[in-house]
Amino acid sequence: LAKTTQPISMDSYEGQEVNITCSHNNIATNDYITWYQQFPSQGPRFIIQGYKTKVTNEVASLFIPADRKSSTLSLPRVSLSDTAVYYCLVVLYSGGGGNKLTFGTGTQLKVEL
């Protein structure tokens, strides 16, 4: 699976939009991009998944350019409760061989007042 690279940490203030970019240069045709959020001492929580262009749900947007070598997670109007680690993952979309998730070290987002 493609290796992902994302910033180690980011700081923001309440009410701002936060964009976290992830690079995955070796992404394959059948790979999807998935983002998880993790709070201390809790399990990761799925945020959003996409293949190309733009995906939006109630908590975030995911922007994927045509070459799919990078992706950007956008969190609109963050609050203190968005302080967490955010992981970018590349996941094989289909197949019965299994769907293990390969996590990197993630991006620690800190939101302040």
Partner 1 sequence: DAGVTQSPTHLIKTRGQQVTLRCSPKSGHDTVSWYQQALGQGPQFIFQYYEEEERQRGNFPDRFSGHQFPNYSSELNVNALLLGDSALYLCASSLGLAGSNEQFFGPGTRLTVL
Residue 94 in contact with partner 1, rule: CB under 8 A? yes
Per rule CB under 8 A, is residue 41 in the interface with partner 1?
yes
Min dist CB 45 to partner 1, Å, is 7
**29 contacts partner 1 (rule: CB under 8 A):** no
What lies within 8 Å, CB to CB, of 10 at 6+ separation is 18, 20, 107, 108, 109, 110
Chosen residue from 45, 54, 69, 77 binding partner 1 by CB under 8 A: 45
Task: Please say whether the beta carbons of 23 and 14 come within 8 A.
Answer: no
Q: Which stretch binds partner 1 (CB under 8 A): 14-22, 55-63, 68-76, 96-104?
A: 96-104
